[in-house]
Amino acid sequence: MPPAELAAPTIPGPLTIPGLLVVRRREDADLRALVGDDDAVTYRELDDASRALAARLVAAGVGKGSRVGLVMPNGVGWAVHALAVTRLGAVLVPLSTLLRPPELVAQLRAAAVTQLVVVPAFRGRDYRAELDAEVPGLTECLRAGGRQPAVPSLRAVWTPDELPTAAAPVELVDALERVVRPADDLVVLFTSGSSGGPKGVLHTHGNALRAVASSLDARRVGPGERLYIPMPFFWTGGFGSGLLSVLVAGATLLTEAEPEPGRTLRFLERERVTLFRGWPDQAARLAAHPDFPTVDLSSLRPGSLGAILPAAARPAAGARANLFGMTESFGPYCGSRLDTDLPAGKHGSCGQPFAGVEVRVVDPATGQPLPPGAEGEIRLRGPHLMRGICGRHRANVFDRDGFYPTADAGVLDAEGYLWYRGRLDDMFKVSGATVYPLEVESALRGLAGVREAFVTDVADETGDRQVAALVVVTPDATAGPGATDRSDATAGPDATDRADGLAGPDGLAELARSRLSSFKVPTRWLVVTDPAGVPRLASGKVDVGALRRLLRDQGVVRSRKVRPT
């Protein structure tokens, strides 16, 4: 059941993108929908621009059910292209600008992309040339009306300027919009992972918009909000929690193609940001920037990430819900109001499930439901979840009761509050005892001077597993002995081989022992001051493989291995 304090989700108009655009034009025509690096667009302008582009797409052969890939950085152009595609009933396939050519080809194939729009150049890359190098003769083959076995569904690749200038009749565009239904596919979103093939998650107009609406109150996104989320639009956090959230709420989204702390701070000040959401370390990077004390962010409201709020407004560690979700649930499916502390005894939890999602905790081996308070695998069911996964039969995605096995470990108490324990596949054993990285990370983040913590396992010289941690500390915490004075993770172990101190490995380990069983306290450490030293995947999620290698190569062993206590 949803928590009592959350407002019932409401969605203006039909549960489709064309229906939502009609509502926003009627109610908020002159409100800015999106503000980018150098441009901005009102809802009227966004509707006009996406409608005009939709007519060009129809003339180019895009129709209902077409799957259109988009490789483009955040900005007004991304939003215009995405809405042009989806208002026609075509399926949007957002693709990361960080994908390497083999990865891009694999995702085009997995999602059966029929048309692809790529930005001419970004960060020094020419995506068209890279595709031609990966699939020789692709451009010439497609222009001649042929097909390439490497990407058999692909019929055309365009840059935005190469789309046909001739437009389809407005009556045809209107007719296509009228037949878009909530049950029609909206988007294929790829989840990130360090192993396995591409996993394209299918969401419909109806399930995606309902999922967005169900979390708005908890996330404090309401009419007129000026929301900044430093997430790429090709990820659920940028598309769902960003672009679609402001469309449903009637708010303004602030976005950047390439966030950089100093520039971002000036952007947020200029645009009078009211809500900053994202990952905690993204806010920590801003708070650690030298310009942060001089920037006026007084327009921020309490639902923002704590690191950039005034000290007096920051919640205590664990006092606010850890919004919890995944690509398969189109963002958060569990939470509580982010401007209000959780009830006593519920600190550290993810809050309660939102309307439209049923949460069950089961024995991962048998699939049998477990009683309240027992730890097991989290499984999800409900109308807000994905329709399925590309290339997989429904029977291979959901269990026999219609629940999706998430491979997340958690505990659901008698009042419906959920505690996330970590990934079942991330769990490892130390001296025969189970360690969940998330539990250790949460404990480390609660220590004074710690902004972020990332934990994994590393094998020692005998092959035994060690708990290893990369910890991002505040700059002032490095002033004492035992801390590093570097701003990246490239210095060798000697940089931390000093006397103990608060931000040094031994000082942190000593503090951690007051919060964790001894076998969970990291024995291999890397302490940095710059969050940029954290290795990440194309989606922005932590690259666990690279993290493990970094800790193995540069981590400092400062605590003895102990047996469980």
Residue with tokens 């942190």: 508
For residue 34, which of 88, 82, 85 has the smallest C-alpha distance?
82
Q: Compute the average pLDDT of residues 391-395.
A: 94
Pick the closest to residue 377 from 334, 325, 412 (CA basis). Answer: 412
Q: Which residues contact 38 (CB under 8 A, 6 or more apart)?
A: none
208 with 284, same domain? no
Which CATH number do you get for residue 151? Answer: 3.40.50.12780
Residue 386 lies in a domain: no
DSSP codes joined into one string, 43-95: HHHHHHHHHHHHHHHHHTT--TT-EEEEE--SSHHHHHHHHHHHHTT-EEEE-
In a domain, 292, yes or no: yes
Q: Which residues of 284-305 are buried (b: 16+ CB within 10 A; e: fewer)?
A: bbbbbbeebeebebeebbbbbb
CATH number at residue 542: 3.30.300.30
Q: What is the per-residue pLDDT for 538?
A: 63
Q: Cα–Cα distance between 221 and 248 in angstroms, integer?
A: 10
Contact between 229 and 238 under an 8 Å Cβ cutoff? The reply is yes
Structural domain ending residue among the three candidates 313, 329, 356:
313
Burial of residue 122 (CB within 10 Å: 0-12, 13-18, 19+) is middle
In the prediction, which pLDDT does 229 show?
93
Q: Cα–Cα distance between 383 and 209 in angstroms, integer?
A: 11
Query: Is residue 45 located within the same domain as residue 139?
Result: yes
Residue that is last in its domain, among 303, 329, 344? 344
327 assigned to some structural domain:
yes
Structure token digits, residue 491:
């210095």
173 & 272 share domain: no
Count of the separate structural domains present in the chain:
3
Q: Do 329 and 469 reside in the same domain of the chain? A: no
**Residue 444 CB neighbour total at 10 angstroms:** 25
pLDDT grade for 12, boundaries at 50, 70 and 90: low
Residues 131 and 184 in one domain: yes
Structure tokens at 325: 């979700």
pLDDT reported for residue 477 = 61
Instruction: Write the pLDDT tens digit of every residue in 270-290.
Output: 999 999 998 887 898 899 999
Whether the CB-CB separation of 117 and 70 falls below 8 Å is answered with yes
pLDDT band at 98 (very low <50, low <70, confident <90, very high): confident
Does one domain contain both 332 and 439?
no
Question: Do 179 and 271 share a domain, yes or no?
Answer: no
- At 479 the pLDDT is 43
Residues 80 and 117 in one domain: yes
183 and 231 fall within a common domain: yes
Is residue 419 a part of any domain in this protein?
Answer: no
Q: What is the pLDDT of residues 405-438, one digit of tens each?
A: 999 999 999 999 999 988 887 778 786 677 878 8
Share of the chain above pLDDT 70, in %: 89
441 domain-assigned: yes
Q: Can you give the residue range of the structural domain that contains 281?
A: 259-313
| Claim to verify: residue 32 and residue 93 sit in the same structural domain | yes
Q: For the beta carbon of residue 263, count every other beta carbon within 10 angstroms.
A: 14
**Does residue 100 contact residue 195 with C-beta atoms inside 8 Å?**
no
Sign of CA dihedral 338, 404, 9, 41: positive
Q: How far is the C-alpha of 141 from the C-alpha of 148, rounded, in Å?
A: 7
**Cβ-contact 218, 351 below 8 angstroms:** yes
Please report which confidence band the pLDDT of residue 531 belongs to, taking 50, 70 and 90 as the band edges: confident
Spatial separation of the C-alpha atoms in residues 317 and 213, rounded to whole Å: 27
Same domain, 125 and 238: yes
- The answer on pLDDT for 308 being more than 60 is yes
- Same domain? 300 vs 223: no
- Is 120 part of any domain? yes
Burial 186-204 (b: 16+ CB within 10 A, else e): bbbbbbbeeeeebbbbbbb
What are the φ and ψ backbone dihedral angles of 35, each rounded to 5 degrees?
-125, 120
Distance from C-alpha of 482 to C-alpha of 124, rounded to nearest angstrom:
40
Q: Rounded to whole angstroms, how far apart are CA atoms 542 and 279?
A: 11
Whether 391 maps to a domain, the answer reads no
- Asked if the structure places residue 564 within a domain, the reply is no
Whether pLDDT at 510 is above 80: yes
| Closest C-alpha among 258, 346, 210 to residue 336 | 346
